[in-house]
Chains A and B, each alone.
Chain A
Amino acid sequence: EDQVTQSPEALRLQEGESSSLNCSYTVSGLRGLFWYRQDPGKGPEFLFTLYSAGEEKEKERLKATLTKKESFLHITAPKPEDSATYLCAVQAGDDKIIFGKGTRLHILP
């Protein structure tokens, strides 16, 4: 069964304390992996697409990486405005899109 699991469910960090969020997946024929950011009361906002193992993408304090079984979203020196829920999704070989349940990130000033 195709599945996407994100960990941890929630993470509290001090401002400037770097960390990583994990997205592990089991799908038939990965076509792409997506990261989204969701602020309270809003729709998910697209961040990155990763296509194949070894690929990396960066945007400001965020860097996403991909292996054959998981993806990491690294957050370097986070600020309070980085607080949000981060969602991971995969596009499988049959073009089905499967979302994880997300990681709630809270950055304390």
Chain B
Amino acid sequence: DIVMTQSPDSLAVSLGERATINCKSSQSVLYNSNNKNYLAWYQQKPGQPPKMLIYWASTRESGVPDRFSGSGSGTDFTLTISSLQAEDVAVYYCQQYYTTPAFGQGTKVEI
């Protein structure tokens, strides 16, 4: 099974500053037949279910602000919040859906 590891476990960022979260998979999640990375990012606010932000590693879900961006390929991925807003305080998870789905352990973003 593919294991997903996120870093850091938590980070504190000032309002308006950049937040960067890393995610590493134990095996490549790049599907060679279509050159897509089967990697998604979710945001979970307290008391709420997860909300998908990014899929195929870098495609923003409809309605997601453009301050959220995803990058990376193969085994190494990054979620960047370009200018942190108060409403972005949450736990962020990466997930691979290339094989049996697996989530990273989560990264808590605080101000």
Bind each other: no
Which residues of A line the B interface, CB within 8 A? none
Which residues of B line the A interface, CB within 8 A? none
